[in-house]
Amino acid sequence: MEFSTFASRLCGPTGIMDLMDDMGRALAAGGAAGAAAPIMLGGGNPARIPELTARWRQRLEEILGEANGVDRLLGTYDTPQGQPGFHSALARLLQENYQWPVTAANVGVTNGSQTAFFLLLNMLSGEYPDGSRGKILFPLLPEYLGYADQGLDPAAFVACRPRVEQLSEHMHKYRIDFDAVEAALQDRRIRAICVSRPTNPSGNVLTDSEVARLGELARERGILLLVDNAYGMPFPHIIFEELLEGSARPVWNENTVLGMSLSKVGLPGARTGIIIAREELITALSRANAVVSLANGMPGQVILEPLLAGGEILRLSREIIQPFYRRRAEFAHQVLAAVMPAGCPWSVHRTEGSIFLWLRLPELPIPSRELYQRLKQRGVLVVPGEYFFFGGDHLKHWRHARECLRINYGQEPEQVEQGLRIIAHEVARVWNDASPAGV
Ligand SMILES: Cc1ncc(COP(=O)(O)O)c(C=O)c1O
């Protein structure tokens, strides 16, 4: 069957689809009698945190106990902007905690932040009415693979390599190369700068000064700074402040577009994404959302609203979610250090936030895509690094892009440990095959 160019952008092979396919097949295998379920360290599924599951169950029971509970949850179309009560409660929480001058009119809801970014990135890139073309700059790669195929204009995205700072033998951190960013910004077609903070996949948290400088560069050029805060503050707060060089305060002003999500507080199935932006942009986004989605799912907004109003979501994030991931990240780092074979070069990004370990295997004799296939054969799903380097051929051909794996460390500790052991074993085999004298 023949499809349009639009379809060729969205329906061809994409990294995000490979990832979701892997997860779907793994879930099906897990459900099939007698089949060994793969160790799923690949996707972005949040961890199962018992206290949160209990709280969401309790909220559902409360809602179902209300006279019109089922209608509120499932029997009503939302507006394309979302629920006014949800907007007001979130705006108030942001005003009180960060003194941002936001009102309900600065808050937009979509069916997941993935959808919000698809709309935003295409509202700002591609052809403009005067015939010019807009582009999006990703100032620090590796960056979230979910953006990679979102630009309907294939030339819409440009990106910069990071500076790689080796903090110790087995730990590194990416920093923005501002010379490269300023050079890229000479291209006046760039209409927005986009970052995730904390970064999926590396676990990097851009420093306050990096964010301030990006904000200044954007303001000077009259373009927007998009900050995807899916793992950040105030919720789910998967940021480990004690590892940072300063604070990681979220920033918002009229020139910033802040993305948030309910997925990593444990509600990915509710598909609730949030955008905080200047009013004009929220109005435009809601119009686009009406065309694409008609309306939003209600459960996420209905479940969360009272937790926003009372501030409970802040306490849950700070006291339950953040320490939970901190323990799991520490565990994964300890296991990795214990199992990686001596003599194989490896380095992990400092896990300052998010739910991923980013393992670099310098000089690995095979590309990480091939390592991923070999690990899949052995029942371990991870994501090969290549997917996270998009926005120009200069990145595709960078060796570093073929030396990395993203590993979800939030899963059950036994699974993480077993998965890391198999990864370490396979890496040793790769090196042994390449130099039979052995490592
Ligand atoms: C950085 C980042 N942005 C956006 C998303 C999409 O999240 P949502 O579930 O809200 O669509 C993810 C999902 O993992 C993510 O990691």
Assigned token pair, 27: 């879930």
Assigned token pair, 216: 């200044």
Determine, yes or no, domain membership for 67. no
How far is Cα 168 from Cα 107, in angstroms, rounded to an integer? 42
Residue-level pLDDT at 394: 77
Q: Which of 260, 284, 312 is the last residue before a domain boundary?
A: 312
Best residue for ligand 1 mutational test, from 121, 261, 408 (most atoms within 8 Å of Cβ): 261
Best residue for ligand 1 mutational test, from 113, 145, 149 (most atoms within 8 Å of Cβ): 113
Atom of ligand 1 lying closest to residue 43 CA: 14
Atom of ligand 1 lying closest to residue 268 CA: 9
Residue-level pLDDT at 176: 98
Residues 320, 308: one domain? no
Residue-level pLDDT at 108: 98
Atom of ligand 1 lying closest to residue 117 CA: 4
CB-CB contact of 173 with 349 (8 Å): yes
Assess whether the C-beta atom of 144 lies below 6 angstroms from ligand 1: yes
Residues 308, 321: one domain? no
Residues 339, 190: one domain? no
Residue-level pLDDT at 9: 86
Assigned token pair, 104: 């309900």
Residue-level pLDDT at 414: 97
Determine, yes or no, domain membership for 68. no
**pLDDT tens figures, 238-262:** 999 889 888 888 999 999 999 999 9
Assigned token pair, 101: 């001058």
Residue 85: how many CB atoms within 10 A of its CB?
15
Assigned token pair, 334: 């300890």
Residues 281, 356: one domain? no
Query: Pairing between strand 107-110 and 273-276?
Result: antiparallel
Which of 366, 348, 359 is CA-nearest to residue 402?
366
Which of 255, 159, 244, 259 is CA-nearest to residue 209?
244
Assess whether the C-beta atom of 297 lies below 6 angstroms from ligand 1: no
Residue-level pLDDT at 24: 77
Q: Which of 297, 312, 327 is the last residue before a domain boundary?
A: 312
Dihedral pair phi/psi, residue 208, rounded to 5°:
-55, -40
Residues 420-438 have a mean pLDDT of: 89
Dist. CA 430 → ligand 1 center (Å) = 32
pLDDT exceeds cutoff 70 at 236 = yes
Determine, yes or no, domain membership for 71. no
Assess whether the C-beta atom of 236 lies below 6 angstroms from ligand 1: no
Q: Which domain holds residue 297?
A: 77-312
Assess whether the C-beta atom of 139 lies below 6 angstroms from ligand 1: no
Dist. CA 369 → ligand 1 center (Å) = 22
Residues 195-206 have a mean pLDDT of: 98
Question: Residue 200 corresponds to which amino acid?
Answer: N
Residues 142-170 have a mean pLDDT of: 96
Residues 361, 229: one domain? no
Assess whether the C-beta atom of 234 lies below 6 angstroms from ligand 1: no
Dist. CA 158 → ligand 1 center (Å) = 20
Q: Which of 282, 312, 342 is the last residue before a domain boundary?
A: 312
How far is Cα 238 from Cα 47, in angstroms, rounded to an integer? 12
Determine, yes or no, domain membership for 356. yes
Residues 346, 307: one domain? no
Best residue for ligand 1 mutational test, from 144, 205, 292 (most atoms within 8 Å of Cβ): 144
**pLDDT tens figures, 29-53:** 665 655 678 999 998 999 999 999 9
Domain count, the chain: 2
Assess whether the C-beta atom of 272 lies below 6 angstroms from ligand 1: no
What CATH number is given to the structural domain containing 356? 3.90.1150.10
Q: 212: helix, coil or strand?
A: helix
CB-CB contact of 191 with 224 (8 Å): yes
Average pLDDT taken over every residue of the chain? 94
Assess whether the C-beta atom of 112 lies below 6 angstroms from ligand 1: yes
Determine, yes or no, domain membership for 69. no
Residues 175, 305: one domain? yes
**pLDDT tens figures, 266-317:** 999 999 999 999 999 999 999 999 999 999 999 999 999 999 999 999 999 9
Percent with pLDDT over 70 in the chain: 97
Residues 279, 332: one domain? no
Determine, yes or no, domain membership for 243. yes
pLDDT exceeds cutoff 90 at 428 = yes
Q: What is the DSSP string of 312-366?
A: HHHHHIIIIIHHHHHHHHHHHHHHHHHHSPTTS--EEE---BSSEEEEE-TT-SS
Which of 261, 259, 275, 270 is CA-nearest to residue 303?
270
Which of 384, 362, 351, 328 is CA-nearest to residue 173?
351
Between the alpha carbon of residue 439 and those of residues 183, 192, 334, the distances in Å are 42, 46, 21
Determine, yes or no, domain membership for 159. yes
Assess whether the C-beta atom of 300 lies below 6 angstroms from ligand 1: no
Ligand 1, atom 2, residue with closest C-alpha = 230
Residues 307, 345: one domain? no
Ligand 1, atom 5, residue with closest C-alpha = 114
How far is Cα 99 from Cα 182, in angstroms, rounded to an integer? 31
Residues 129, 109: one domain? yes
Determine, yes or no, domain membership for 59. no
Residue-level pLDDT at 31: 56
Dist. CA 359 → ligand 1 center (Å) = 20
What CATH number is given to the structural domain containing 194? 3.40.640.10
Residue-level pLDDT at 20: 77
Band (16; pLDDT cuts 50, 70, 90): confident
Residues 328-357 have a mean pLDDT of: 97
Residues 407-415 have a mean pLDDT of: 97
Residues 303, 323: one domain? no
Q: What is the DSSP string of 40-104?
A: E-SS-PPP--HHHHHHHHHHHHHHHHSTTHHHHHHSSPPPTT--HHHHHHHHHHHHHHH-----G
Residue-level pLDDT at 436: 64
Residues 369, 423: one domain? yes
pLDDT exceeds cutoff 80 at 142 = yes
